[in-house]
């Protein structure tokens, strides 16, 4: 790691910490009330889930439409374990951490079992089979007694709050960013660019597809577990096809291949329906209109494949904006098999 990279990481860590301190102060002084705190927590959850999908959709270049299914597996697995751990005298962060890790592992296992045969397909066929598996997961949960069935699962400890949601989101993004910058991440992105060429130079494309899909499912499970421990109630109807579409829209709007674009898009699309709640009669119309306009004038998403960095923005705002414009406007063919 060179000096410039170290400096950039330090600046970004300081910026993330300062943002947390500012938000915490605003919450303690009730400038941000409990209602808006809830919206911020949902933004964090959507960032985790959408970033995990971005690994499959944006970096791996595989169109998957059943991500809500993996979120559901993580939510129910972590919630059931958490209910069983209620008698143990554990610190909140340890209790939540164990539950989330278990939910992520269960989602990862299901993701691997689904992904290994499914990822041999491409394009529309892959989208259809992942959509089918996502719906199968929801229907199975809906018909199992110990998950509460159609009535939903109650009695989940409410362990999630702004603080742990914020730092879990930061940790997930840091892990995904480190993965993408590693040699394994470059191998994953090479499949997106040209799968035949990647295989020709010795990259095990099927193996890396399965790895990417599994990691994506794992972090979707983490997001689902965080959702379960914030809501303290789970209804299988939440994790339907429209939830998967919502996650895909966040990824596409932010930019397929941009984690920071996903953060911005998750913030906009999570808060926009709440901001427009006063215009309840026209809320869905305005929401849809904004998405249509965005797709017409900037189909590559807000950032394209560029990444936002406080260091680059502070030192050369013009260069950063030029890079965003270049990545978003000049990469129409990116996206591999999507």
**What pLDDT, on the 0 to 100 scale, is given for residue 310?**
57
Q: Is the pLDDT of residue 65 over 50?
A: yes
**What pLDDT, on the 0 to 100 scale, is given for residue 1?**
52
Q: Quick check: is 27 in a domain?
A: no
Please say whether the beta carbons of 234 and 76 come within 8 A. Answer: yes
Q: Quick check: is 8 in a domain?
A: no
pTM to 2 decimals?
0.88
Q: Quick check: is 252 in a domain?
A: yes
**What pLDDT, on the 0 to 100 scale, is given for residue 3?**
57
Q: Give the chain's radius of gyration (CA, Å).
A: 20
Which is higher by pLDDT, 254 or 221?
A: 221
Across the range 321-331, mean pLDDT stands at 54
Beta-ladder partners of 153: 234
**What pLDDT, on the 0 to 100 scale, is given for residue 320?**
54
Tokens representing 279? 């215009």
Q: Tokens 């303290």: give the residue.
A: 232
Q: Is the pLDDT of residue 312 over 70?
A: no
If pLDDT is split at 50, 70 and 90, which confidence band does 48 have? very high
**What pLDDT, on the 0 to 100 scale, is given for residue 336?**
41
Q: How far is CA 194 from CA 191, 198, 205, 208, in A?
A: 5, 6, 10, 14
Task: Tell me which residue range forms the domain holding 267.
Answer: 33-329
Q: Quick check: is 179 in a domain?
A: yes
Q: Quick check: is 2 in a domain?
A: no
Mean pLDDT (the chain) is 85
Centre a 10 Å sphere on the Cβ of residue 288 and count the other Cβ atoms it contains.
10
Please say whether the beta carbons of 264 and 187 come within 8 A. Answer: no
If pLDDT is split at 50, 70 and 90, which confidence band does 122 have? confident
Of the listed ranges 79-83, 115-119, 312-316, the least confidently predicted one is 312-316
Alpha carbon distance 220, 112 (integer Å)? 13
Alpha helical stretches, state H, 2-122: 3-28, 34-54, 67-84, 92-118
Q: How far is CA 333 from CA 5, 176, 184, 256, 327, in A?
A: 29, 23, 22, 12, 11
- In DSSP notation, 22-38 reads HHHHHHHTTSS-HHHHH
Centre a 10 Å sphere on the Cβ of residue 151 and count the other Cβ atoms it contains.
10
Q: Is the pLDDT of residue 34 over 60?
A: yes
Q: Quick check: is 145 in a domain?
A: yes
Q: Quick check: is 48 in a domain?
A: yes
Give the percent of the chain with pLDDT over 70.
87
Structural domain count of the chain: 1
**What pLDDT, on the 0 to 100 scale, is given for residue 124?**
77
**What pLDDT, on the 0 to 100 scale, is given for residue 324?**
55
Q: What is the 3-state secondary structure (H, E, C) of the chain?
A: CCHHHHHHHHHHHHHHHHHHHHHHHHHHCCCCCHHHHHHHHHHHHHHHHHHHHHHHHHHCCCCCCCHHHHHHHHHHHHHHHHHHCCCCCCCHHHHHHHHHHHHHHHHHHHHHHHHHHHCCCCHHHHHHHHHHHHHHHHHHHHCCHHHCHHHCECCCCCCCCHHHHHHHHHHHHHHHHHHHHCHHHHHHHHHHHCHHHHHHCCCCHHHHHHHHHHHHHHHHHHHHHHHHHHHCCECHHHHCHHHHHHHHHHHHHHCCCCHHHHHHHHHHHHHHHHHHHHHCCCHHHHHHHHHHHHHHHCCCCCCCCCCCCHHHHHHCHHHHHHHHHHHHHCCCCCCCCC
Q: Tokens 């002084």: give the residue.
A: 29
Please say whether the beta carbons of 209 and 12 come within 8 A. Answer: no
If pLDDT is split at 50, 70 and 90, which confidence band does 269 have? confident
**What pLDDT, on the 0 to 100 scale, is given for residue 334?**
43
Across the range 191-203, mean pLDDT stands at 88
Using CA atoms in the order 318, 323, 329, 335, what is the torsion angle rounded to 10 degrees? -160
Alpha carbon distance 193, 63 (integer Å)? 14
Across the range 126-146, mean pLDDT stands at 88
Q: Quick check: is 208 in a domain?
A: yes
């Amino acid at each position: 790691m060179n000096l410039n990279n170290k400096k950039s990481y330090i600046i970004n860590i300081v910026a993330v910490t300062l943002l947390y301190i500012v938000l915490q102060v605003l919450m303690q002084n009730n400038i941000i009330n409990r209602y808006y705190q809830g919206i911020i927590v949902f933004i964090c959850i959507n960032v985790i889930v959408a970033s995990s999908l971005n690994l499959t959709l944006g970096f791996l270049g595989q169109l998957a439409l059943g991500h809500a299914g993996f979120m559901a597996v993580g939510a129910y697995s972590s919630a059931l374990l958490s209910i069983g751990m209620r008698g143990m005298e554990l610190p909140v962060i340890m209790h939540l951490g164990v539950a989330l890790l278990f939910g992520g592992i269960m989602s990862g296992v299901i993701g691997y079992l689904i992904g290994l045969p499914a990822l041999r397909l491409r394009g529309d066929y892959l989208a259809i089979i992942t959509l089918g598996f996502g719906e199968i997961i929801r229907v199975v949960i809906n018909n199992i007694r110990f998950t509460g069935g159609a009535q939903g699962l109650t009695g989940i400890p409410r362990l999630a709050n702004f603080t742990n949601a914020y730092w879990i989101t930061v940790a997930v993004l840091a892990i995904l960013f480190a993965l993408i910058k590693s040699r394994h991440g470059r191998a994953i992105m090479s499949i997106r660019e040209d799968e035949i060429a990647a295989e020709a130079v010795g990259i095990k494309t099927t193996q890396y597809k399965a790895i990417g899909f599994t990691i994506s499912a794992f972090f979707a499970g983490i997001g689902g577990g965080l959702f379960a421990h914030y809501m303290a109630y789970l209804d299988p109807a939440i994790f339907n096809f429209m939830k998967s579409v919502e996650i895909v829209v966040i990824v596409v709007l932010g930019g397929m291949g941009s984690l920071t674009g996903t953060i911005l898009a998750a913030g906009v699309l999570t808060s926009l329906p709440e901001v427009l709640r006063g215009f309840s009669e026209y809320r869905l119309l305005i929401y849809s209109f904004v998405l249509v306009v965005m797709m017409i004038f900037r189909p590559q998403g807000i950032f394209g494949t560029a990444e936002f960095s406080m260091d680059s923005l502070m030192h050369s705002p013009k260069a950063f904006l030029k890079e965003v414009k270049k990545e978003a406007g000049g990469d129409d063919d990116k996206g591999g098999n999507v």
